[in-house]
Amino acid sequence: MTATEQLAARWEAVMMPTYGTPPVAIARGQGCRVWDVDGRVYLDLIAGIAVSVLGHAHPALVEAVCRQVATLAHSSNLAMHEPGVRLAERLVGLLGGDGRVFFGNDGAEANEAAFKLARRHGRALDRTGGRLQVVAAEGGFHGRTLGALALTGTPAKREPFAPLPGPVTFVPYGDVAALRAAVTDRTAAVFLEPTLGEGGVVPAPAGYLAAARAVCDATGALLVVDEVQSGIGRTGAWFAHQAEGIRPDVVTLAKGLGGGLPIGACVALGAAGELFAKGDHGSTFGGNPVSAAAALAVLDTIERDGLLASVRAVGDRLAVGLAAIEDSLVARVRGSGLWRALVLTAPVAAEVEAAARRAGLLVNAVQPDAVRLAPPLVLSAADADEAVAGLQVAVAEVGGATVGAASAAGAPGAGGGPPQDKGVR
Ligand SMILES: Cc1ncc(COP(=O)(O)O)c(C=O)c1O
């Protein structure tokens, strides 16, 4: 039995089966590489689901966390601390100033806070309590707690846990007319991702967030932009919504913010920052000094090392390389920055993920026909080339078995076309 198999047997005996049994057991990481418990090394192209933005064991993160844990690990919300206040100041500054932050521990908690803000907003506009409706996107993902799940546009995830808070109206993602029709003077808030992450790295059409902003302005609904996956440099901007030049009322963050330490943030801008009053929400651990110090190290390193520009350059190189893979299994590449989906002509993403692992790459079958790449933001051009070469091998291995099915379906190959999304908008 390998060490991985031994750990899998122990996992299956004691862990709830919510994730199945993961196919890999990671022991340690350095930069963009991780080693499994059997000593195999992988190029990490998924970064713990878009989290480890500085890669693994980055000296700036190690130093900040060690220094902070040796100074003060925890205070609860009964005391203020410098790292928490400084991080809130930094986030508000990066989001254009004039805002307030609530810190939780992850993305679901950030969205729970935003959902409660929406309730407060609705009640402020209609004291009879009639303004409760929330609008969210089909295929959107906002987390697994009951509130965040209520906003998540996948019926199969929601229905086993009904009834959920609401009412929530789901609209087709990217459809401005549907959004205009759904948002009324009964709507408290609109929750949108700038790009569907778990939905398969599907970018919104240009102008969609701007249209959502206009609809919210016209009706008085809050615009909540979920940047849990897209934020903190993933697309080559600090926040993905900035590409549309809009200012949301609320931005939710997590994942990359702590670079691997758990932290979530609900940032309310302008008047939305005044919605919560004393006693309205809370968390014992949220924004603790160690996670806040980690997040400050992440923001400092992104800034100091010019990582936003690097994400754009390396991300484009990666996309060009992926789109040039000549294999009938490759339909196209979508996404931006270091956040891409290799879209397949057959629902064999899980097989490609497994073949990539055999080729030394960690990627993720985010949808049956889409392989997600969300590597550390420190990925180099050489790493990107290695990723393309490995995925070429992986799709060739899987494509050999599925080429008949793909051609029977009349699906197009990549044919070396441009890297931009060619079909999802
Ligand atoms: C856009 C988005 N929002 C919220 C979440 C939930 O975050 P967490 O798993 O940290 O609770 C996720 C997780 O994938 C996400 O992608």
- 358-393: pLDDT as tens digits: 999 999 999 999 999 999 999 999 999 999 999 999
Per-residue pLDDT at 399: 85
Identify which of 213, 287, 225, 216 has the alpha carbon closest to the alpha carbon of residue 257: 287
Per-residue pLDDT at 288: 98
| CB-ligand 1 contact for 112 (6 Å cutoff) | no
**C-alpha 349: how far from its chain's center?**
19
Model pTM score: 0.94
Residue 273 φ/ψ, nearest 5 degrees: -70, -15
Residues recorded for the chain: 425
Write out pLDDT tens, residues 279-298: 999 999 999 999 999 999 99
CA 262 to ligand 1: nearest atom: 10
- Residue 129: band (very low, low, confident or very high) from pLDDT cuts 50, 70, 90: confident
How confident is the model over 50-77, as a mean pLDDT? 98
Integer Cα distance of 351 and 354 in angstroms: 5
| Residue 417, pLDDT above cutoff 60 | no
Write out pLDDT tens, residues 19-36: 999 999 999 999 999 999
Q: Which entry of 102, 170, 191, 255 is annotated as an active-site residue?
A: 255
Percent of all residues in the chain with a pLDDT value above 90, rounded to a whole number? 93
| CB-ligand 1 contact for 106 (6 Å cutoff) | yes
Query: Judging by beta carbons within 10 Å of its beta carbon (0-12, 13-18, 19+), is residue 395 exposed, middle or buried?
Result: buried
How confident is the model over 157-175, as a mean pLDDT? 97
CB 141 within 8 A of CB 152: yes
Question: Which of 18, 115, 142 to probe ligand 1 with, by most ligand atoms within 8 A of CB?
Answer: 142
How confident is the model over 47-70, as a mean pLDDT? 98
| CB-ligand 1 contact for 143 (6 Å cutoff) | yes
| Residue 2, pLDDT above cutoff 50 | yes
Per-residue pLDDT at 410: 43
Q: Ligand 1: which residue has its CA nearest to atom 13?
A: 143
Kindly give, in sequence order, each residue whose CB lies less than 8 Å from that of residue 98, ignoring residues fewer than 6 positions away: 92, 269, 270, 273
Per-residue pLDDT at 401: 61
How confident is the model over 190-204, as a mean pLDDT? 98
| Residue 423, pLDDT above cutoff 90 | no
Per-residue pLDDT at 130: 84
How confident is the model over 26-49, as a mean pLDDT? 98
Integer Cα distance of 144 and 106 in angstroms: 11
| Residue 413, pLDDT above cutoff 60 | no
Per-residue pLDDT at 277: 98
Q: How many whole angstroms from 330 Cα to the centroid of ligand 1?
A: 27
Per-residue pLDDT at 117: 98
The conformation of residue 376, written as its DSSP 8-state character, comes to -
